[in-house]
């Protein structure tokens, strides 16, 4: 294959943007599927307290993971929580270029190569209970993951976002705040984010076939077949097997639900918009999907599923070969039903580099489907969300979406709901902000007064965004 082939160019772009993906109160299941309240670990996701998680590792193991956090390799250690000790757990750092840049040294590949050593006081961490002890769970959970929130000086964006999804009946991981010690030393305030795995699906989708369906990461069922063929040449995780996160070892594993929708959807695209909309409405709960989109837009999750990268020359017509990321799909096993699940919300709510990545209203059916430049030249171009045929089907139901937005603004996104949570968290977190300042962890982010200003700025974001969302359904 020649060096200037579209596939190789796409591979380079794909590598760069994949590095940028780093990274949901409570309950948050689809309305008719379960409330997630029966699982054993539910009490860990209590956002009214800050629990202390004490990690213990040998100096050798700390040195190993500090040498190259981006390897994301586990080492053995122990965890102590509220007097309970769990030995033989796996511990590693977690993240991507979005969370590692500036926090690890550059490798030989330059600024975008985050393979160097740890230099920030804290990085995201993951704890595995079943790595060294087969089938072990703690509080019903296989893993704990702690996000360092290095992209968010307020420490509230992920909690606001995931809880807004859940308050609106959209499946997403629960959260709680956590204080972490390493060998007795305070290393920072983190947010505990529920792992999206079979425990999650059992909790949220338990009333639908016991939650035993397939969970897929970053596999978009509305993507045109041509895009899959290109992407499959670059990395295997764009395939159904590669994107699967549950049931991977099941002897009767199949992708029948996902492929069943894809086959019907692709066939419908050859017939008419009316047939497309009928297929989508039969496989996907339209109100649920509209709720997902409404919260996504309220948060401006512009590095998420509504942002479609489309490699090619700027200004040229979109040919259907594009991709998105930072979401999951739950596919019921025997029932023809698909449910999107929210994920990766650190770069939201006015988060700088991605804030302009979606330049058009998601449901603008008149927007030209041409490639537009992203905010950084080394990222591939984008196309408007409604250029994707699945999104376009949702966009054609404008009146139904308007009702959903009104419900969101009157409920989970209202000032009374968001403002009350922020006020409570401001009081809850302030002592730990002071502890971080005293420990030199919040370097470059100022004192407690500066943090208070940053929190106020987040409040103002939500005031402005509520007005913008209201205006978007009045046009």
DSSP letter string over 348-384? -SS-GGGTTS--S-TT-TTS--B-B--SSTTSPPEE-
Predicted local confidence at residue 123, as pLDDT:
93
CA distances from 189 to 50, 119, 432, 436 (A): 9, 17, 7, 7
CB contact at 8 A, 371 and 318: yes
Predicted local confidence at residue 38, as pLDDT:
57
| Segments of the chain scoring below 70 in pLDDT | 1-38, 97-98, 101, 107-113, 225-226, 233-237, 377, 475
**pLDDT single digits (tens) 114-124:** 777 878 889 99
Predicted local confidence at residue 128, as pLDDT:
97
Predicted local confidence at residue 44, as pLDDT:
94
Q: How far apart are CA 184 and CA 274, in angstroms?
A: 62
Instruction: Look at residues 79, 94, 52, 82 and name the one whose alpha carbon lies nearest to residue 136.
Output: 79
Helix (H, G, I), strand (E, B) or coil at 78: strand
- Class of residue 170 by CB neighbours under 10 A (exposed 0-12, middle 13-18, buried 19+): buried
pTM: 0.90
Predicted local confidence at residue 234, as pLDDT:
60
Instruction: Look at residues 73, 47, 17 and name the one whose alpha carbon lies nearest to residue 354.
Output: 17
Whose tokens are 């300042």? That residue is 437
- Class of residue 49 by CB neighbours under 10 A (exposed 0-12, middle 13-18, buried 19+): exposed
Predicted local confidence at residue 13, as pLDDT:
35
CB contact at 8 A, 326 and 162: no
Q: Pull the structure tokens for residue 235.
A: 């990395």
Which helix (H) or strand (E) segment is 258 a member of?
A: helix 256-269
Instruction: Look at residues 466, 320, 317, 346 and name the one whose alpha carbon lies nearest to residue 405.
Output: 466
Instruction: Look at residues 333, 337, 392, 411 and name the one whose alpha carbon lies nearest to residue 169.
Output: 411
Which helix (H) or strand (E) segment is 55 a member of?
A: strand 50-56
| Beta-carbon count within 10 A of 300 CB | 22
Predicted local confidence at residue 75, as pLDDT:
97
Show Cβ contacts of residue 423 under 8 Å, excluding neighbours closer than 6 positions: none
Show Cβ contacts of residue 349 under 8 Å, excluding neighbours closer than 6 positions: 157, 160, 161, 299, 300, 458, 461, 462, 465
**pLDDT single digits (tens) 135-172:** 999 999 999 999 999 889 999 999 999 999 999 999 99
Predicted local confidence at residue 97, as pLDDT:
65
Neighbouring-strand partners of residue 8 = none
Helix (H, G, I), strand (E, B) or coil at 261: helix
Alpha helices in 234-300 (DSSP H): 240-243, 256-269, 273-283, 286-299
For residues 334-357, one letter each, b for 16 or more C-beta atoms within 10 angstroms of the residue's C-beta and e for the rest, the string is eeebbbbbbbbbbbbbbbebbeeb
| Beta-carbon count within 10 A of 231 CB | 24
| Beta-carbon count within 10 A of 74 CB | 18
Predicted local confidence at residue 356, as pLDDT:
81
Neighbouring-strand partners of residue 128 = 90, 143
Longest dimension (CA), the chain: 65
| Beta-carbon count within 10 A of 64 CB | 15
Pairing, β 175-182 against β 50-56: parallel
Predicted local confidence at residue 131, as pLDDT:
95
CB contact at 8 A, 116 and 104: yes
Q: In what order do the strands lie in the sheet with 214-217?
A: 214-217, 327-331, 338-342
Q: How far apart are CA 7 and CA 177, in angstroms?
A: 43
Predicted local confidence at residue 12, as pLDDT:
36
Q: What is the percent of the chain with per-residue pLDDT over 90, rounded to a whole number?
A: 67
HSE, side-chain direction, 13 A CA sphere, residue 469? 26
Neighbouring-strand partners of residue 328 = 217, 341
Q: How far apart are CA 359 and CA 304, in angstroms?
A: 14
């Amino acid at each position: 294959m020649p060096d200037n082939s579209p596939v190789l160019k796409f591979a380079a772009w794909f590598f760069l943007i994949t590095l940028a993906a780093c990274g949901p109160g409570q309950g948050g299941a689809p309305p008719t599927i379960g409330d997630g309240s029966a699982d054993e670990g539910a009490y860990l996701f209590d956002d009214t307290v800050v629990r202390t998680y004490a990690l213990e590792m040998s100096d050798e193991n700390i040195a190993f993971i500090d040498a190259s956090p981006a390897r994301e390799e586990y080492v053995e250690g122990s965890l102590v929580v509220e007097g309970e000790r769990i030995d033989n757990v796996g511990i590693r750092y977690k993240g991507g270029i979005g969370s590692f840049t500036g926090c690890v040294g550059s490798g030989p590949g330059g600024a975008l190569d985050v393979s160097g050593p740890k230099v920030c006081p804290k990085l995201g961490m993951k704890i595995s209970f079943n790595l060294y002890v087969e089938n072990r769970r703690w509080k019903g959970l296989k893993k704990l993951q702690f996000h360092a929130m290095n992209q968010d000086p307020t420490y509230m964006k992920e909690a606001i976002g995931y809880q807004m999804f859940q308050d609106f009946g959209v499946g997403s991981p629960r959260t709680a705040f956590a204080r972490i010690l390493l060998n007795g030393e305070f290393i920072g305030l983190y947010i505990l984010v529920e792992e999206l795995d079979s425990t999650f699906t059992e909790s949220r989708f338990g009333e639908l076939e016991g939650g035993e369906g397939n969970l897929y990461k970053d596999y978009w069922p509305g993507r045109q077949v041509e895009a899959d063929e290109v992407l499959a040449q670059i990395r295997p995780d764009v395939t159904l097997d590669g994107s699967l996160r549950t049931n991977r070892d099941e002897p009767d594993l199949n992708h029948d639900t996902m492929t069943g929708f894809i086959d019907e959807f692709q066939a419908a695209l050859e017939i008419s918009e009316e047939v497309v909309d009928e297929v989508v409405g039969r496989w996907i709960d339209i109100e649920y999907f509209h709720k997902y989109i409404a919260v996504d837009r309220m948060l401006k999750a512009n590095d998420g599923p509504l942002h479609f990268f489309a490699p090619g020359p700027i200004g040229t017509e979109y040919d259907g070969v594009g991709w998105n990321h930072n979401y999951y799909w739950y596919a019921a096993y025997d029932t023809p039903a698909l449910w999107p699940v929210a994920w990766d919300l650190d770069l939201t709510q006015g988060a700088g580099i991605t804030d302009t990545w979606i330049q058009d209203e998601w449901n603008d059916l008149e927007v030209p489907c041409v490639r537009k430049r992203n905010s950084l030249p080394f990222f591939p171009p984008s196309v408007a969300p409604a250029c994707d045929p699945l999104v376009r089907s949702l966009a054609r139901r404008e009146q139904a979406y308007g009702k959903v937005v009104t419900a969101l603004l009157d409920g989970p996104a209202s000032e009374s709901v968001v403002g009350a949570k922020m006020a409570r968290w401001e009081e809850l977190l302030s002592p730990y902000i002071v502890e971080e300042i005293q420990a030199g962890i919040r370097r470059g982010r100022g004192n407690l007064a500066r943090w208070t200003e940053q929190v106020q700025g987040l409040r103002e974001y939500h005031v402005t965004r509520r007005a913008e969302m209201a205006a978007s359904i009045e046009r």
